[in-house]
Chains A and B, each alone.
Chain A
Amino acid sequence: MDLFITIRVALRALRKNKLRSLLTVLGVVIGVCAVITLVNMGSGAQIAIEKAISGLGTNLLIIFPGSVTKGGIRTGYGTVTTLTVEDAQAIQEECPAVQMVTPLVNTAAQVVFQNQNWGTSAFGVNPDYQRIKNWPLEHGEFFTLQDVKAATKVCVLGKTVAEKLFGGQNPVGQVIRMKRIPFRVVGVLTPKGQTAFGQDQDDTIVVPYTTAQKRLVGITYLTMVMASAISLDLMADAQDQISNLLRHRHQIKKGEDDDFTVRNLADLIGVFSTITRILTLLLGSIASISLVVGGIGIMNIMLVSVTERTREIGIRMSVGAKPKDILLQFLLEAVLLSLMGGSIGIFLGIGLTSAVTYFTGWPSPVSLYAILVAFLFAAGVGIFFGLYPARKASRMNPIEALRYE
């Protein structure tokens, strides 16, 4: 007997018990729907987190001057003055994996405008800083390379500082004072919000690093250097190139410790994606449990059905059905049930995912992979839980089956 006819026979049997088939299917529907929705939402969370982290500047490398050991005392980071503007320039010129570089000098500063004042931290940088940090301006413009060369007294305000000093007013063109030195405000940065650790990124004032070195701090070295790699994949290359370059420039011999440290945020991203991946897997496995429960429902109904239709099995055997014909018929019924449930569940899952996206705004891409896995899993559930009842049916004694009341 060919497969097509068997499918038709199985379908007819399912149609004869519409409500029962529907309720049985429901178990699988819920299971598949749960798997798809939760996996989609999990990968949505992953995307959201990665987006949030890349807002921090994912291909960012930060070079700190290291500590020195003198007479058994190891000083902390930033206590040495070995990192120079020339180092920053060399990194820009000689490291092919590096895209942009800015020297960085920071200091705490009390900022004054008329009768308002505010304590914040000032960053001395070059114009690449804005691009490295991927930080657009709300008002005005960022200062230029000319400002850096001439050590002009201009500044760009973080949103928090702008609000503390100017309230709602536009600060561009106004003059503020830091350490009694007048600075003209050329721009205001858009709010960036807090870091993952609760630090307000907008509580800052940005000036040319030359101005900071000469007028605010009075140093010739740098607090740190910030660089961006050309792409995320080239992070490791960029890091190696910078290390080698600086070891060479600082004349560090083989076997000696670096007098600097290169850090990046890629590790952070790695940790977060691992967490979300585990979370997605966890949600998916919990949802799979309901799929297994649905499968048990199918098995239960198939067992009832086989018992109920004992006489039918006997009749079919008496007219020449082979054991494998009977096996196939009942197995197909179970598989059809689970596949129907799977299909409905997929549509419902996609619908639910879209609804979640619509109402919460979470990104939740419909994962083709999850759909495929859920569908195959549903078919597998049908075969696994349908096999036992079908075998039971195919092994019946035809005489007893015919006599069954």
Chain B
Amino acid sequence: MTRFISAEQLHKTYYLGDDVEVPALRGVSLEVGKGEFVAIMGPSGSGKSTFMNLLGCLDIPTRGRLLLEDVELSSLTPNQLAEIRNRKIGFVFQNFNLLPRTSSLENVELPVLYSGADASKRHRLAVEALERVGLKGKIHNLSNQLSGGEQQRVAIARALVNNPSLILADEPTGNLDTQTSAEIMQILKELNDVYGITIILITHEADIARYARRQVFFRDGTIVHDQ
């Protein structure tokens, strides 16, 4: 397995005011190979979301090294980080985070828009992505006219529209019932199996974590268990 993500002694400290330090990560080291499906578990405040924000290029580490496909993330400019988010990473959030009062199609087109593709390519990619998550018939529905499960499918379509190598899912089933959760997890698993997309999944439900082949436990900003 080729090295895909490599974290070495990763630290992230938040500063509240002038002298209040909140250490969120205290020396996390982790290697993830290409095509892995990893579940990250742990109680609230254990640092798993912080770790994911760093991986997702939404934030930069205070100390330590973090490499994505051998690129050191902490040395990149905001524009370069935006570029990586756009081309290599897809996000799936617990609360879906779709643009309100906007159609599925336009929501899915958004990442393609920022990658600078022309209108016809944008449309084609978005329709393909929506077909892949089984929403072919609802491409013109507005986001607030969809059920929770459908909204999460739109979000997954948006995450994979630019053909990323990494999907970061932050409690993707947290707002869904068991049945729908299973469907969403099935889609993610398929993306991993069929397309070889590396998936990092944050959850605190054990049965959701079971979809992943590897489970990493966080506590107090460090990894306590990796299986």
State whether A1 and B114 are in contact (beta carbons under 8 Å apart), knowing that A318-B56, A319-B85, A322-B79 are contacts in the complex.
yes
Q: Tell me which of B82, B99, B111 contacts A322 (CB under 8 A).
A: B82
A-B contact count (CB 8 A): 61
Would you give the 0/1 interface string for A319-340, flagging 1 where the beta carbon is closer than 8 Å to chain B? 1111111000000000000000
For A399, what are the chain B residues with a Cβ–Cβ distance below 8 Å? Answer: 53, 58-59
Which residue from chain B places its CB closest to the CB of A402 in the assembled complex? B97
In the bound complex, what is the Cα–Cα distance between A257 and B114 (angstroms)? 83
Interchain CB contact under 8 A, B79 and A319? no
State whether A314 and B114 are in contact (beta carbons under 8 Å apart), knowing that A320-B82, A320-B85, A398-B58 are contacts in the complex.
no
Interchain CB contact under 8 A, B91 and A319? yes
For B87, what are the chain A residues with a Cβ–Cβ distance below 8 Å? Answer: 320
Task: Taking A316-B110, A318-B97, A322-B114 as given, write out 13 further A-B residue pairs in contact, using a Cβ cutoff of 8 Å, ordered by the A residue number.
Answer: A2-B116, A311-B97, A312-B100, A315-B110, A316-B114, A318-B91, A319-B85, A319-B91, A319-B110, A319-B111, A319-B158, A320-B111, A322-B83
- Whether B210 sits at the interface, judged by CB under 8 Å, is no
Which residue from chain B places its CB closest to the CB of A316 in the assembled complex? B110
Q: Which of A318, A322, A397 has the most chain B CB within a 10 Å cutoff?
A: A318
Would you give the 0/1 interface string for A384-404, flagging 1 where the beta carbon is closer than 8 Å to chain B? 000000000000011100100
28 A–B contacts from the bound complex (CB under 8 Å): A311-B97, A312-B100, A315-B98, A315-B99, A315-B110, A316-B114, A318-B56, A318-B85, A318-B97, A319-B85, A319-B86, A319-B91, A319-B158, A320-B82, A320-B83, A320-B111, A320-B114, A320-B115, A320-B162, A321-B114, A322-B82, A322-B83, A322-B114, A323-B78, A323-B79, A399-B58, A402-B58, A402-B93
For A321, what are the chain B residues with a Cβ–Cβ distance below 8 Å? Answer: 82, 114
- Whether A346 sits at the interface, judged by CB under 8 Å, is no
Q: How far is the CB of B22 from chain A (nearest CB, A)?
A: 14
- Whether B101 sits at the interface, judged by CB under 8 Å, is yes
In the bound complex, what is the Cα–Cα distance between A1 and B122 (angstroms)? 12
- B114-143: which residues lie under 8 A (CB-CB) from chain A? 114-116
Interchain CB contact under 8 A, A315 and B97? yes
Q: How far is the CB of B155 from chain A (nearest CB, A)?
A: 10
- Whether B176 sits at the interface, judged by CB under 8 Å, is no
- Whether B113 sits at the interface, judged by CB under 8 Å, is yes
The size class of the interface chain B forms with chain A is 20 to 34
In the bound complex, what is the Cα–Cα distance between A1 and B56 (angstroms)? 21
Would you give the 0/1 interface string for A107-138, flagging 1 where the beta carbon is closer than 8 Å to chain B? 00000000000000000000000000000000
Interchain CB contact under 8 A, A312 and B79? no
**B residues touching A (Cβ–Cβ < 8 Å)?**
53, 56, 58-59, 78-79, 82-83, 85-87, 91, 93, 97-101, 110-111, 113-116, 158, 162
In the bound complex, what is the Cα–Cα distance between A23 and B115 (angstroms)? 35
In the bound complex, what is the Cα–Cα distance between A5 and B114 (angstroms)? 10
In the bound complex, what is the Cα–Cα distance between A311 and B53 (angstroms)? 16
Q: How far is the CB of A187 from chain B (nearest CB, A)?
A: 80
For B82, what are the chain A residues with a Cβ–Cβ distance below 8 Å? Answer: 317, 320-323
Q: How far is the CB of B208 from chain A (nearest CB, A)?
A: 21
- Whether A74 sits at the interface, judged by CB under 8 Å, is no
- Whether A16 sits at the interface, judged by CB under 8 Å, is yes
Main secondary structure of the interface of A (DSSP, over half): helix
In the bound complex, what is the Cα–Cα distance between A319 and B93 (angstroms)? 12
Q: How far is the CB of B102 from chain A (nearest CB, A)?
A: 8
Would you give the 0/1 interface string for A276-320, flagging 1 where the beta carbon is closer than 8 Å to chain B? 000000000000000000000000000000000001101111111
For B56, what are the chain A residues with a Cβ–Cβ distance below 8 Å? Answer: 318
Which residue from chain B places its CB closest to the CB of A16 in the assembled complex? B101
In the bound complex, what is the Cα–Cα distance between A185 and B151 (angstroms)? 101
Which residue from chain B places its CB closest to the CB of A2 in the assembled complex? B116
For A315, what are the chain B residues with a Cβ–Cβ distance below 8 Å? Answer: 97-99, 110
Which residue from chain A places its CB closest to the CB of B100 in the assembled complex? A312
For A320, what are the chain B residues with a Cβ–Cβ distance below 8 Å? Answer: 82-83, 85-87, 111, 114-115, 162
Would you give the 0/1 interface string for A43-65, flagging 1 where the beta carbon is closer than 8 Å to chain B? 00000000000000000000000
- For the complex of A and B, the 6 pairs showing the least CB-CB separation, nearest first, are A320-B86, A319-B111, A322-B82, A320-B114, A320-B85, A398-B58
Q: How far is the CB of B88 from chain A (nearest CB, A)?
A: 10
Interchain CB contact under 8 A, B91 and A5? no
For B79, what are the chain A residues with a Cβ–Cβ distance below 8 Å? Answer: 322-324
For A1, what are the chain B residues with a Cβ–Cβ distance below 8 Å? Answer: 113-114, 116
For B116, what are the chain A residues with a Cβ–Cβ distance below 8 Å? Answer: 1-2
Q: How far is the CB of B51 from chain A (nearest CB, A)?
A: 12
For A317, what are the chain B residues with a Cβ–Cβ distance below 8 Å? Answer: 58, 82, 85
In the bound complex, what is the Cα–Cα distance between A346 and B71 (angstroms)? 54
For B53, what are the chain A residues with a Cβ–Cβ distance below 8 Å? Answer: 399
In the bound complex, what is the Cα–Cα distance between A311 and B59 (angstroms)? 16
For A319, what are the chain B residues with a Cβ–Cβ distance below 8 Å? Answer: 85-86, 91, 110-111, 114, 158
Which residue from chain B places its CB closest to the CB of A320 in the assembled complex? B86
In the bound complex, what is the Cα–Cα distance between A402 and B87 (angstroms)? 19
For A397, what are the chain B residues with a Cβ–Cβ distance below 8 Å? Answer: 59
For B99, what are the chain A residues with a Cβ–Cβ distance below 8 Å? Answer: 312, 315
Would you give the 0/1 interface string for A11-37, flagging 1 where the beta carbon is closer than 8 Å to chain B? 000001000000000000000000000
